[in-house]
Amino acid sequence: MSESAIHLVDEVLPIKPIRQWVLSFPFQIRLLLAIRPKIMREVLNIAINTVSSHLCKKAGFKNSTAKTGAVTLIQRFGGSINLNVHFHMLFLDGVYELDNDDKPSKFHITNTPTINELGEVLDKIIKRITKLLEKQGIITRDINSHLQINLTEDDSLAKLQAGAVTYRFALGPNKGKKALTLRVLPETDHTANKGLVAKSCGFSLHAGVSMTGGERDKIEKLCRYIARPAVALERLSLNSRNQVVYNLKKPYDDGTTHIVMTPLELLERLAAIVPRPRVHLTRFSGVFGPHYTYRTLIVPKPKVIQQIVPSEKPHDTVGTNSRISWAKLLKRVFNVDVEICHKCGGQNKIISAIEDPKVIKKILTHLNLPTTPPTPWPARGPPHSHDHFNQHNHFDLA
């Protein structure tokens, strides 16, 4: 999560205003996007092209005379570990004017979209998606011109995803039921209708989060948020009945604060979130496209670090690595610099790597630390069909 955010901030997003556009879908479309990756790609192209056309028009240009850029992170989960495919699109809040050679030149900032403009963009996206799905034969119209979606997928993963997208389970004793929820009085000010958002036919388009190009820390924090994993481990626990309890980050509008599942039901939810093979969840569009001719003129210049290497020259110029070191990652995210001595402020360096068990034991004994590893938890056999992972262990850890 943090490494992805650092990559976007340092190597992709230029110092220009950024706005997040979030597009979500009705339940049936979510399931379709989950089981049909090719359809998801075409739907994403529709969304990207529609928003790009809106930005060009708002800046006073045609699509042929201006170009914008976007990084899309496809999230496949909701706050209750449910299947919810939606798009987080980080758009440049403006467009690059193209010269006679189609080379990006001056950047033009666009104004904040209005509610009416959001509604118009969303209506265009819905009409184009509907036209695409009708052409593919996935959506048909009945005699009353009502739209019906036809999905005949019968593989096991599609069945799990069909349940997860509607908050229901497909396996176990609670098959067809929703997860048990714990509720309190709902918050009066917690509603999804606030802010710069447009809704129609189960679709929603939100564009209320924006930052200036100089707010790099805020942009990185936003990138971490949309690149986050599906489950926050600190909010996951077991109750006295060996059920999994997941504490929601914010109470739902109906007051729900926790959901309760069996371990098997949790595995079912996690399996439904897993994408199909060879499906990329991060997409680059416009001036950020990997094959765009002038991409190097837009993205930040790669940093060059000085590193001491064993050669005749004490200082050689070494380019940035594709992976950031753990030390630099800790410093960037938590402001913890493990390379600096907390006593003298000097630079830490590795003296040696000790692998001899006798030496390790001697050092641990000197530091009054345990010299034997803790007793491992015994392996558990596969669950029986009737107990649904509620096996009782018959062993003594003492």
**pLDDT for 230-273, tens place per residue?**
998 899 999 888 899 999 888 877 778 888 889 988 998 898 89
Q: Name the pTM for this structure.
A: 0.77
Q: Say which DSSP state 19 is in.
A: E
Closest to 91 (Cα-Cα) out of 68, 107, 112: 68
Q: How confident is the model at residue 153 (pLDDT cuts 50, 70, 90)?
A: low
Tell me how far the alpha carbon of residue 322 is from its chain's centroid.
20
Give the pLDDT mean for 2-25.
94
CA distance 326 to 318: 18
- Select, from the ranges 152-161, 227-236, 308-317, 322-331, the one with the highest average predicted confidence (pLDDT): 227-236
Residue-level pLDDT at 304: 56
Tell me how far the alpha carbon of residue 221 is from its chain's centroid.
12
Task: Retrieve residue 73's tokens.
Answer: 């992170």
Task: Retrieve residue 220's tokens.
Answer: 């990185």
Residue-level pLDDT at 188: 40
CA distance 398 to 394: 13
CA distance 87 to 76: 9
Are 72 and 52 within 8 A, CB to CB?
no
Q: How confident is the model at residue 176 (pLDDT cuts 50, 70, 90)?
A: low
Task: Retrieve residue 89's tokens.
Answer: 């699109």
Task: Retrieve residue 332's tokens.
Answer: 């960037």
Calculated CA dihedral for residues 345, 346, 349, 354, nearest 10 degrees: -60
Query: Which has more confidence, 335 or 190?
Result: 335
CA contacts within 13 A on the Cβ side of 246: 23
Backbone φ, ψ for residue 105 (5° rounding): -125, -95
Give the pLDDT mean for 196-216.
93
* Domain map (residue ranges) of the chain: 2-165+192-230+276-297, 304-366
Are 226 and 206 within 8 A, CB to CB?
no
Are 263 and 172 within 8 A, CB to CB?
no
- pLDDT of residue 185 exceeding 50: no
- pLDDT of residue 165 exceeding 80: no
At position 243, the amino acid (one-letter code) is: Q
